Amino acid sequence: MLKFENPQFFLWAIPLAALLLFWSWKSYAGLGRGRRYLATGLRGLGLLAILAGLARPVLFLPAEDEAVIYVLDISDSTEDSALEHSLAHVLDATSDLERHQSSALVVFAGQPKVQRTLDTTPIEPKEQSLEGILHRRNRTKFQSALQTLETAETPDAGALKTAQDNLERIEKWRQNLQIERTDTAAALRLARSLIPVEARGRLVLFTDGNHNRGQVGRELRALRESGITVNTHTPPPSEHLEVLAQAIEMPAEVHVKQPFNLTVHIVANQPTSANVTLFRNGFRIANREMELKKGTNQLRMERLTLDEGYYSYEALVEAKGDTRLENNAVRGAVKVAGKPKVLLVERQPGASRYLIEALESQGLSVEERPAAGAPTDLRDLLNYDALVLSDLPSEHFRPGAMEAVKTYVREMGGGLIMIGGEKASAWAATTARPSRTPCPCACRSKRTLKSPT
């Protein structure tokens, strides 16, 4: 089968054909009809060959080998019964593979993981690597075993150590996969990378559809363009009540006193009543009783206004009879921007007065603090667009404060200026300090201070 990677180049065929006909009518007026048609046809074929080359044709030959990648959602939103059903389907499907077939298994939550690479042998149900699929049940089993051993009068030291290791292994597995999240797009991307170029690809996706990370539509389009078939299996609806706080929808940034709307999206698998509490920066600002219908519900708060600063919101949904509480909270944040704000922390008050005047002359708002007022956490830093440290010794920062500065600069896009001085130079030259990591430059200074006579 012939495909073109850039078929949009063929759109030029229409204007070029019109130009070619006009050209032939003007240039070949003295030729006979047959020779004129022949010359026009040859030039048309030449232009078509050029467009076909620009469109980058690719010839796909029929492949005998088939690679089947099973992609299994094991996040906390998937029930144990659905996991058992999906696992049984995978084991049954791989128990009788044909000679030209191979299979692999990818599990995912917030992060995907290849559980078994492509192989022509069946996926065995007793493999220890499959233990993490039923992680919730195994964690409960290991917790119960550990509790029984710890409360025994004469616990077996070996059995106690084994129970602790089992529980630690499950907890580490859950942490690495970010089990409270669901990123289907990342799992599809990883599964696509496992399919060999010379084989026909097929993905079998087992998920409840409650993804809250990534862009699934983009990955599905990429799979379709690659000629990879995707089969999706969804678990049967749960008989138990399940309420999910799906997302908080609001703008990422607004201006001071600019009205904005906040919407909390809540999903329920059956009609029920629920209590929704909204927190801002850890303080409760609203509480609503809602009658939830089956499917997606919305709690909308309109025309909220805020002063300048950084605000975090959290919505907590409580429903009587809900079987899983870990997915009942959702968070979001908004930045309220006014004049650009700069936090200046200096060792000697007044030493940076000329810098402050220069910044304020450019329309920036500068807050000046002494060394004792150095920021202590990320929430404090997020209220400013830039941080200026003027000749500041490292002992004025509490433990963990510079890690907050690193996160502020590298992940949140905050600005950082370190003004040198006697104290700051010695600090920057200390390679063991994490304070150097946000800076794009290396600072080297002598350890000894020489004073002129």
| Per-residue pLDDT, 284 | 93
CA–CA dist 180, 315 (Å, integer): 16
| Per-residue pLDDT, 61 | 57
Domain boundaries in the chain?
2-59, 66-233, 243-337, 341-436
CATH class, range 66-233:
alpha beta
Strands annotated E in 120-271: 200-206, 229-233, 243-249, 253-255, 260-268
Task: Please tell me the CATH superfamily of domain 243-337, with its number.
Answer: Immunoglobulins (2.60.40.10)
Residue-wise pLDDT for 235-254, tens only, equals 776 667 888 888 899 998 88
Residue with tokens 């919505």: 315
| Per-residue pLDDT, 433 | 47
**Residue 13, CB half-sphere, CA atoms under 13 Å: how many?**
15
Residue-wise pLDDT for 144-202, tens only, equals 888 888 887 777 888 888 888 888 988 998 889 988 888 999 999 999 999 988 888 89
Quick check: do 66-233 and 341-436 share a fold? yes
Mean local confidence (pLDDT), 77-95: 85
Return the closest-CA partner of residue 91 out of 63, 64, 115.
Answer: 115
Give the range with max mean pLDDT: 109-118, 414-423, 426-435: 109-118
CA–CA dist 117, 452 (Å, integer): 69
Give me 98's structure tokens.
Answer: 């044909």
| Per-residue pLDDT, 128 | 61
Task: Please tell me the CATH superfamily of domain 341-436, with its number.
Answer: Translation initiation factor IF- 2, domain 3 (3.40.50.10050)
The answer to whether 90 touches 105, Cβ cutoff 8 Å, is yes
Mean local confidence (pLDDT), 381-401: 80
Residue with tokens 């800076």: 439
| Per-residue pLDDT, 431 | 37
Mean local confidence (pLDDT), 136-149: 84
- Global pTM reads 0.49
